[in-house]
Amino acid sequence: LAIAVVRSHGVTARAAVVEEISADPSRAGLELGELLGPAPDGPTATFVWYDPLTGVNISALLDGLARGGYPAVFGGGAGQPFGPRIRTFQYCGDRVLSNSAVALAIHGLEAVYDMTHGTEPTGLELTVTRSRDNVIEQIDDQPALDVCCEQLGFEGIDRQSSNWALGIKPPDGTAYE
């Protein structure tokens, strides 16, 4: 949960929420953009929080949001810190939702960010051998969940919650950026 209070004559904010994002993520993103209204001239920082447990194609949701006028986005998937990953919640005003996405556009504010990775390769190199949109289904021809459980030392990841940093090895000679 993050709370920020800004008082300014030059900064305005607008929040929007869409439900049932898994049914049509592209439409959901476009609808978010429409609900946020036309982006005014000048800087805008846009944040999106969504329900990752739906298996939603987040790329399609973000593409729809870009078509709706909000191409630069920060935020992420809603989390559940411990225990079985059954349900996440998104909040907007007095509403508590699941299978939804919440967007916040702050007009008159430019977000300053930098690309950082925070990890170093450990030498383990695996290959994604099957994926669907942004969902990894197989790693080295094995079910991705089995590989993840093995690497993290879990008997069943549905009983644990953890993060595993995944990186993509660029072709030789590719610039870092």
Q: What is the model's pLDDT at position 73?
A: 78
Q: What is the model's pLDDT at position 18?
A: 94
> pLDDT per residue over 131-164, tens digit each?
987 788 999 999 988 888 787 777 655 544 555 6
Sorting pLDDT into bands at 50, 70 and 90, what band is 10?
Answer: confident
Residue pair 89/96 in contact (Cβ under 8 Å)? The answer is: yes
> pLDDT per residue over 20-74, tens digit each?
999 999 999 999 999 999 887 888 888 898 888 888 888 899 999 998 888 877 8
Q: What is the model's pLDDT at position 157?
A: 52
Q: Which residue has the tokens 């430019």?
A: 110
CA distance 131 to 57: 12
H/E element, 45:
strand 44-50
Among residues 102, 105, 94, which one has the least CA distance to residue 70?
105
> pLDDT per residue over 85-126, tens digit each?
677 888 888 888 889 999 999 888 877 776 665 566 666 788
Q: What is the model's pLDDT at position 159?
A: 45
Helices (H), the chain: 25-36, 58-67, 144-152
DSSP category for residue 120: -
Q: Quick one: how many helices (H) and strands (E) in the chain?
A: 3, 9
Q: What is the model's pLDDT at position 168?
A: 67
Q: What is the model's pLDDT at position 177?
A: 57
Contacts for 21 with CB less than 8 Å, ≥ 6 apart: 28, 50, 51, 54, 56, 61, 99, 100, 101
Cβ count within 10 A of residue 84:
12
Three-state DSSP class for residue 117:
coil
